[in-house]
């Protein structure tokens, strides 16, 4: 927790310091692509990983439904509600 | 009667001041809209953090001091999947790295003195960058930064606490499908990043890498390894740049960070 707090603040402070501009020129393009890579990796892990192996369960259906909601430009609350409802529904039926 | 009259005139004064404030503080409306979008995200964070086994104190500390929604979701998600603390911090900080890119664009809005700037740094996030860079004058940029920063910090913290308390009431997270809420939120957060060819390459490559690595390493580590996906994405980006401009290309150019990944972050569904 301390590492997380210190690290996240340190990165913000680094940007506002005089070094900020130099960091941006050197690594800006790579850092800007990090969220796309990390979010995608986190999504597949959280959807298909279970105790160290890959599985296909109710989560996949829920996340797919949530994905459709995102695609239809639904607000976040609705995205989460759809994903949860479909997952809980599929889980209750299987 | 007189007292009531006095109250009325005070009220009228407030309304007048609020009206004139719209002229002198054009960013107030944006701040309110973004706060409304952030509030449910904060509640969701509290609920999922509680489901991942975080106690109230840790949720409060995290929202108050980390104050970067995407990183908080990532850290809590990795822990929830049984990843190590190191893997959780690693993925969260890699996501937080984009806040360092906002510093240079926010220059005009930030105070000149070093101690004040170090204090201001805590509030340099997606939303404040988006609202502040949208202002035309330097004075408004600074006002918008501070106003949105403090409002969002308050909303984010109050809502995560409310979410944590709500989560405690909900009980078994699986019955409610809460484990699918994590990845669904991340799908919403991912959406603005895959509008460019490079972003799509990074996302697809990272998903493939993560799926390939899971059977070998378990939770947590695959997310860190997936950072390698940035390499082919950078190649796509430089390759595309040489080709004649097309709609997709001009779009990727205008949405280049950090100037525009800020405004993207301000869409409903974004987190601080």
First vs last C-alpha separation in chain B:
48
- Using one digit for the tens of pLDDT, what is the confidence trace for B66-77? 999 889 998 998
- The pLDDT value recorded for residue B248 is 44
Q: How far apart, in whole angstroms, are the C-alpha atoms of residue B59 and residue A58?
A: 28
pLDDT for res B163: 93
Look at residue B262 in the predicted model and tell me its pLDDT. Answer: 39
How close B116 gets to chain A, by Cα (Å)? 11
pLDDT score, position B267? 41
Of the segments A7-21, B215-229, B243-257, which one has the largest average pLDDT value? Answer: A7-21
Q: Do A23 and B100 touch (CB under 8 A)?
A: yes
- The answer to whether A2 contacts chain B (CB < 8 Å) is no
Whole-angstrom CA distances from A30 to A79, B213, B233 are 29, 22, 9
To the nearest whole Å, the CA of B78 is away from the closest chain A CA by: 8
Which chain A residue has its CA at the smallest distance from B91's CA?
Answer: A38
Query: Between these two residues, B157 and B91, which has the higher pLDDT value?
Result: B157
Q: Which residue of B has its CA nearest to A35?
A: B95
What pLDDT, on the 0 to 100 scale, is given for residue B67? 94
The chain B residue lying nearest A28, using CA atoms, is B101
The answer to whether B90 touches A1, Cβ cutoff 8 Å, is no
- Quick check: B187 and A43 CB within 8 A? yes
Q: Percent of chain A, pLDDT > 70? A: 100
**What is the SS3 assignment for B12?**
helix
From the CA of B58, how many Å to the nearest CA of chain A?
8
Residue A61 is predicted with a pLDDT of 95
CB burial of residue B21 (10 Å; 0-12, 13-18, 19+): exposed
- On the question of pLDDT at A23 being above 70, the answer is yes
- Neighbour count for residue B252 (Cβ, 10 Å): 19
List CB contacts (< 8 A) between B261 and chain A: 32
In sequence order, what are the residues at sequence separation of 6 or more whose Cβ sits closer than 8 angstroms to the Cβ of residue B174? A91
Residue whose token pair is 């952030």: B38
Residues of A in contact with B44 (CB under 8 A): 76-77, 80
Q: Which residues of A touch B189 (CB under 8 A)?
A: 35, 39
3-state SS class at B133: helix
The H helix count followed by the E strand count for chain B is 14, 0
Residue B167: its pLDDT value, please?
86
In contact, B212 and A54? CB cutoff 8 Å: no
Chain A, chain B: beta-carbon pairs less than 8 Å apart: 289
ipTM reported for the complex, 2 dp:
0.88
pLDDT at B245: 45
**Residue B170, Cα to own-chain centre: how many angstroms?**
26
């Amino acid at each position: 927790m301390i590492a997380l707090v210190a690290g996240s603040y340190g990165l913000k402070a680094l940007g506002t310091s005089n070094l900020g501009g130099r960091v941006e020129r050197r690594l800006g393009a790579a850092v800007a692509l990090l969220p796309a890579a990390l979010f995608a990796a986190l999504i597949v892990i959280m959807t298909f990983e279970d105790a160290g192996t890959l599985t296909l369960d109710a989560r996949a259906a829920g996340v797919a439904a949530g994905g459709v909601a995102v695609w239809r430009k639904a607000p976040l609350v609705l995205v989460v509600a759809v994903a949860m409802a479909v997952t809980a529904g599929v889980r209750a039926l299987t | 009667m007189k007292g009531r009259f006095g109250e009325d005139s005070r009220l009228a004064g407030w309304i007048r001041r609020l009206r004139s404030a719209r002229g002198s503080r054009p960013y107030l409306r944006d701040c309110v809209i973004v706060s409304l979008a952030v509030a449910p995200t904060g509640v969701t964070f509290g609920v999922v953090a509680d489901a991942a086994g975080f106690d109230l104190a840790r949720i409060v500390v995290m929202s108050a001091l980390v104050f970067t929604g995407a990183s908080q979701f990532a850290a809590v998600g990795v822990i929830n999947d049984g990843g190590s603390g190191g893997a959780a911090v690693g993925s969260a900080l890699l996501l937080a790295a984009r806040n360092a890119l906002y510093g240079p664009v926010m220059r005009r809005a930030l105070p000149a003195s070093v101690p004040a700037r170090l204090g201001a740094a805590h509030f340099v996030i997606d939303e404040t960058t988006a609202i502040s860079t949208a202002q035309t004058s330097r004075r408004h940029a600074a006002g918008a930064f501070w106003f949105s920063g403090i409002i969002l910090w308050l909303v984010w913290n109050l809502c995560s606490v409310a979410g944590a308390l709500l989560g405690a009431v909900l009980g078994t997270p699986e019955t409610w499908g809460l484990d699918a809420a994590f990845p669904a939120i991340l799908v919403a957060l991912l959406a603005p990043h895959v509008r460019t060819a490079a972003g799509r390459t990074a996302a697809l490559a990272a998903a493939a890498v993560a799926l390939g690595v899971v059977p070998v390493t378990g939770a947590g580590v695959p997310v860190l390894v997936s950072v390698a996906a940035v390499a082919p994405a950078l190649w796509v980006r430089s390759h595309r740049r040489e080709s004649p401009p097309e709609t997709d290309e001009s779009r990727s150019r205008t949405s280049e960070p950090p100037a525009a990944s800020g405004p993207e972050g301000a869409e409903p569904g974004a987190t601080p």
